[in-house]
Every structure is written in C-alpha cells, then in structure tokens.
C-alpha cells in the first residue's frame, strides 16, 4: 500500500493549470450626471473584455501562495465627479478599476480612464462644446470607452462596459451604460462588467448595461432614483442628477478560478471564497472579497 501511494504521488502533475476571470471594481457615477465605467474584465474562458484576444491560463505550483485582491467599487460623486473603482488581482494578472463618471462643467468634462472609461459630463453654458467619455485601459484591453455628450444639452454620457462603448448624451436622452461580457467559466453563462447609465437633468436617464451596470437617475417626474452597480459584477454606478441625489457607487469586483477536480484550494486569512463541487472535470473557486493568498494541494 505505501508503494502504491508513492507511485500515485510521483505520477501526479507537478503544476496546476488555472483558468481565471478577474473583474475589477466599477467606477462611481457623477453627482451630475455621467455614468461610471465598468471594472476591467480579463478572462481565459469564453471571452475577455474590450473585444481582446482570449487570455492564457496560468501554470502554477502546488503548495505555493498566490496573491488575490478583490477591488471595491468607486464611490458615487457627492459634490463632483465619481471615484474610480479599485483594481482586482490574481497572481500576475491585474484588472483595472472602472473610470469615474464626470460631472458638468463650463466646457464638456471628460470621463475618467479605467478598465472601461467613465461617461463624460454635459456643458452648463451656451458654448455648445461636446464632452468625451473616458478611455479604456489599452494593454491589455479590458473594456470599452465611456460615452460623451454631443454638445450643449442637459444629459451626459454612459459608462463604458466590458462589451460595448457607453452611450452618448444628447438634448433628449442621457447615454446608457455599455453592455458587459458573458463567460461560462462557472459552467453556466453569466454576464459581468456593465457600464453605469448617466443621470438626466432634462430628459430620460440612461439604463445600466447588462452585467450589473447601475441605472442613472432623472430629474423629471419625481425625480426618479438611480442605482449602484451590482456587487461582485464590476458594474459601473449610475449617474445622479443633483436634485437631490448624488451619484451612485460602482459594484465590487470578483475572481473566479477553474482548475482540475483533483486539486483543492485553500483560502488564506482575509479572503472570502468558496470552492464548488467537482463538475465536468473541474472545480471552481469564487472569491468575492478581501486581500490575501490562495494555494492548492
């Protein structure tokens, strides 16, 4: 019996192939009105963010600690722009927090850069200058740019999503958040990384992008409240309208790891995670909060 045990141990692979989904925290929406950008979306299964090339699984070593961090969503703007979301990391992989939604200005305000860019603000003077959305992280791409504003109007741009550019604000409507991206890393198709819809002063608010993007709020008929990005989706927060709502926070990020079902993961102190039962030759670990280490046996 001991001899058989030694043989089994010798035949066991000395490395582990780990597929991943790393989603950063979404950006916060502006007090007036730009939507927050989605957190960066990097994946080795189904699709990655921004239309980029599918990423490559990591080859890791058993009984070795690998750092993980789940990025929080950026706060909604209480007086001005929203706040950028925080990065999520796994080993050597970093997804960048979503860009902030921009508020109004004498000239068009540019949305914040991030994994996906935040929505641009509207112009509060008669100059008619357009604004532009924030730019996405370029290398590697993780999402899309935020939407801008077409000129003098009271409506802003939506936050970029992992799967689409944020919508443009005009005289009638604020921009909707860009849609997220679906992945089947868990065995079922789930969408993450929707951009936040822009709030509206003089028209219709933007809807949140699929994958957890928050709804913008509107001043007309109420006003109507918006919403924050969904927790553990990386969704951008909806934009506020200043009468009386502030911007809304982005959703926190998430980390999902897929590996052979012969392995078992250990979550270190400070990490909130669960491991699934074996299915289809794999186990999956889902980590929803914290900073710390993981390792495999």
The answer as to whether 276 is a domain residue is: yes
The answer as to whether 108 is a domain residue is: yes
| CA–CA separation, 134 and 115 (whole Å) | 10
The answer as to whether 196 is a domain residue is: yes
- Overall domain count for the chain: 1
What pLDDT is attached to residue 12? 58
The answer as to whether 3 is a domain residue is: no
The answer as to whether 10 is a domain residue is: no
| CA–CA separation, 78 and 59 (whole Å) | 44
| CA–CA separation, 201 and 199 (whole Å) | 7
Residue 237 DSSP label: P
| CA–CA separation, 96 and 110 (whole Å) | 18
The answer as to whether 11 is a domain residue is: no
pTM score: 0.94
The answer as to whether 4 is a domain residue is: no
| CA–CA separation, 15 and 57 (whole Å) | 12
| CA–CA separation, 178 and 197 (whole Å) | 8
| CB-based burial label for 245 (10 Å; 0-12, 13-18, 19+) | buried
For the chain, the C-alpha Rg in angstroms (whole number) is: 20
What pLDDT is attached to residue 103? 93
The answer as to whether 166 is a domain residue is: yes
What pLDDT is attached to residue 289? 98
Mean pLDDT by 10 residues, the chain (297 residues): 44 86 98 96 98 97 98 95 98 98 84 97 73 94 95 88 96 95 98 97 92 93 87 98 87 98 98 98 98 98
What pLDDT is attached to residue 6? 41
| CA–CA separation, 197 and 173 (whole Å) | 11
- What six digits make up the tokens of 239? 């934009």
Which stretches of 246-281 are assigned E, i.e. beta strand? 254-260, 265-267, 271-275
| CA–CA separation, 165 and 38 (whole Å) | 10
Q: For residue 264, what are the domain limits? A: 17-297
Please list the helix, strand and coil fractions of the chain in percent, rounded to the nearest 5, in that order: 5, 25, 70
């Amino acid at each position: 019996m001991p001899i058989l045990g030694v043989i089994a141990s010798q035949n066991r692979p000395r490395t582990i192939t780990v597929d991943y989904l790393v989603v950063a925290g979404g950006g916060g929406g502006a007090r007036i009105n730009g939507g927050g950008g989605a957190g960066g979306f990097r994946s080795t299964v189904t699709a990655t963010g921004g239309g980029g090339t599918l990423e490559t699984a990591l080859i890791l070593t058993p009984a070795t600690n690998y750092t993980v961090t789940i990025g929080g969503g950026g706060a909604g703007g209480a007086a001005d722009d929203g706040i950028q979301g925080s990065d999520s990391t796994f080993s050597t992989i970093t997804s960048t927090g979503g860009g902030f939604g921009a508020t109004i200005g004498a000239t068009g305000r540019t949305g914040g850069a991030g994994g996906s860019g935040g929505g641009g603000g509207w112009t509060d003077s008669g100059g008619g200058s357009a604004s532009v959305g924030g730019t996405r992280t370029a290398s590697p791409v993780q999402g899309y740019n935020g939407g801008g504003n077409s000129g003098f109007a009271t409506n802003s741009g939506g936050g970029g999503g992992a799967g689409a550019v944020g919508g443009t604000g005009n005289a009638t409507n604020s921009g909707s958040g860009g849609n997220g991206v679906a992945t089947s890393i868990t065995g079922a198709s789930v969408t993450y990384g929707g951009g936040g819809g822009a709030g509206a002063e003089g028209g219709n608010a933007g809807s949140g992008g699929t994958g957890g993007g928050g709804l913008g709020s509107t001043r007309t008929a109420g006003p109507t409240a918006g919403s924050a990005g969904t927790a553990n989706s990386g969704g951008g927060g909806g934009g506020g309208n200043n009468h009386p709502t502030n911007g809304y926070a982005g959703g926190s990020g998430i980390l999902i790891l897929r590996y052979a079902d012969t392995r078992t993961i250990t979550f270190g102190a400070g990490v909130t995670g669960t491991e699934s039962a074996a299915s289809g030759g794999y186990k999956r670990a889902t980590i929803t909060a914290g900073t710390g280490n993981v390792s495999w046996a």
